[in-house]
Structure 1
Amino acid sequence: MAEIFWLASYPKSGNTWLRILLANVRAGGEADIDALPQYGLSGAFSRVVFDQYCGFKSSNLPVAAYENLRPQIFRVLAAHVPIPLVLKVHDAWRFTPKGEPLFPPDITTGAIYIVRNVLDVVPSAADHWNVDCAEAVRRLCDPDFALMADPNALAPGLRQVPGRWSDHAASWVERSGLRLLVVRYEDLIADAAHVLADVLAFLGWSANGETIARAVEVAGFARLQQRERDLGFCERPSQARSLFFRRGRIGSWREELPPDLVRRLIDVHGSAMARFGYLDGGGNPI
């Protein structure tokens, strides 16, 4: 049975970038970013994977029915895949409608939770979803916010429920009970090699310093942006206003968010922002 690690994050928090770094380690060089599943780095919400291991199409099921089946699909997947899996997750850690953990602890080796300053998440998510920043803020403050939830559209992924940004973080960090490594996006930006080494140690993967350095070098943000301009990127939604690899900067919110939206986010998420080092002792953004 394969090990399963959950790579959990709120959308636009660095999940894909970390998967690319891990794929580069597995490839021993520059991995194909359009083929991350071949390195055991697919999405836990993939409709194709669900349909393959379920034996019939999820599109024929109501949401509650396929959500109740998802834990068992993960168990079947773990039983049939020969390499350890690191599965991308945007869902909050939660229970299925019938009360079972959506991410079964009996097949879980651990979880990595990537957190990014909510002030920087908003403008990135707004471009990704093709909405304005006010609408993105509304979504990040909505406890029922869900992705791929339009009943009239067949999305490539199953419905996911991130909910509110701060609730999402608390669900994984405080309530999951899983063996957990927390990674701040800002630390990954500041010293990718160091953070990647910590992630590899948590996963139990062996890699020398040269392999780690090469993995980081070929996943530089400017390089990924140029690759996306030249060849596209399969995970970029068609409605996105900008590149998937948009800016990769810390603090760009200062140029993009008006004061009233900053205040709204701090009012709703201030406690979690302080916990992860995004507010100073006076409650001001860092």
Structure 2
Amino acid sequence: MSLAWLSSYPKSGNTWVRIMLQNYLEDRPLETDEPVQWRGGGSKISAVADIADLSSESGLSWPSHQAVPPTLKTHFLPGVEVHRPYRETTSKVLYIVRDPRDVIHSAERHLDVSPKHRAAFARHFIAHHGFEGWRRTGWGSWVENVSEWVNPERHFPNAQVCVVRYEDMKSDAVGSLSRIVTFLEWDDRVDGARVERAVRNSELDRLREQQRQANEPGKGRNLFFGQGLSGQSLADYGEDVEESYLRLLDEDSTFADVAKRWGYSN
């Protein structure tokens, strides 16, 4: 049985894509508490199970009841131990990439960094090319995660790769989801009306309201889903922070090459 990975660096839109796929698969508005139970076993998003849940002590059973090819979500770098059993059976990699400047904003909000430490967090992220806590978890830096997943043949020699930019999902969610469903081979012919319904039921405003109604931990600023903005400057952390990012693009060719490839060098 072949499988696909839905992978990304954290705060790049992975959960949003999972929910869109869940909505597409079930073709109905999910109940209030369904799409937001990502903590403690995200079994409610069963269309794309999380490898961290499947590999935990109280992990989830494989969603074998599904009529679509299995897809697993991960933030880990492709070469970590937990991925190795799937080396030969992996046939597809769907990777979501997002502007690291927007990742910084989203991560800072998600991690509930205090206002007085916001600028320090942004500087830390730029200096380490990502959040060091996530690197120690096995997710790598932003540039490592992107580079290794868009070229995963060393770890998954049989995999086809499809890269979707977060910004393109924002500007054309219907087109992006159609492309994703086609790549994953969930349908012989993508149902455009069904895609539109899935996108409508997965709008970020709707997801934030669902989380508020479900009384999940973390309210207001710390809701899992933010506004999902794109093209944000780092100047609100301090002029020196934006300048540090631009200097990184000038002085680090590895980071600059990856950022430029995906349109994040301006």
Q: CA deviation at 1:29?
A: 1.7
Aligned position for 2:212 = 229
Aligned position for 2:43 = 37
Question: CA separation in 2, counterparts of 1:9 and 1:137?
Answer: 22
Aligned equivalent of 2:201, options 218, 221, 225:
218
Letter of the 1:192 partner, please give it. Answer: A
1:246 to 2:226 alignment: yes
Aligned equivalent of 1:170, options 144, 147, 152:
147
Letter of the 2:258 partner, please give it. Answer: A
Q: Does the residue aligned with 2:95 lie in a helix, a strand or coil?
A: strand
Counterparts of 1:126-145 in structure 2 under 5 Å? 126-131=108-113, 132-139=118-125, 141-142=127-128, 145=132
Distance 1:224-1:9 versus aligned 2 partners, 3 A rule: same
Question: CA separation in 1, counterparts of 2:122 and 2:85?
Answer: 27
Distance 1:137-1:18 versus aligned 2 partners, 3 A rule: farther
8 Å CA contact 1:20–1:33 kept in 2: the answer is: yes
Alignment length (residue pairs): 239
Aligned position for 1:275 = 261
Aligned position for 1:21 = 20
Q: CA deviation at 1:101?
A: 5.6
Letter of the 1:145 partner, please give it. Answer: E
Q: CA deviation at 1:226?
A: 1.6
Percent same amino acid among aligned pairs? 28
8 Å CA contact 1:6–1:88 kept in 2: the answer is: yes
8 Å CA contact 1:134–1:261 kept in 2: the answer is: no
Q: CA deviation at 1:5?
A: 1.4
TM-score by length of 1: 0.73
Question: CA separation in 2, counterparts of 1:169 and 1:109?
Answer: 18
Distance 1:119-1:103 versus aligned 2 partners, 3 A rule: farther
Aligned equivalent of 2:56, options 31, 50, 65:
50
8 Å CA contact 1:130–1:240 kept in 2: the answer is: no
Question: CA separation in 2, counterparts of 1:41 and 1:113?
Answer: 14
Distance 1:86-1:253 versus aligned 2 partners, 3 A rule: farther
Question: CA separation in 2, counterparts of 1:247 and 1:53?
Answer: 31
Q: CA deviation at 1:186?
A: 0.0
TM-score by length of 2: 0.78
Letter of the 2:238 partner, please give it. Answer: P
User: What per-residue deviation string (whole Å, max 9, x for no partner) do you get for residues 207-251 of structure 1?
Assistant: 411100000111112111222222245xx7x59942211111112
Query: Root-mean-square deviation (CA), in Å?
Result: 2.9
Aligned position for 1:184 = 165
Question: CA separation in 1, counterparts of 2:97 and 2:85?
Answer: 19
8 Å CA contact 1:137–1:261 kept in 2: the answer is: yes
> Structure 1 residues 179-188 or 214-223, which shifts more?
214-223
Aligned position for 2:78 = 93
Distance 1:187-1:53 versus aligned 2 partners, 3 A rule: closer
Q: Which runs of 4+ in 1 moved over 6 A?
A: none
Question: CA separation in 1, counterparts of 2:71 and 2:122?
Answer: 28
Q: CA deviation at 1:200?
A: 0.3
User: What per-residue deviation string (whole Å, max 9, x for no partner) do you get for residues 91-144 of structure 1?
Assistant: 122243xxx964632121211110000011101101111222432542465379
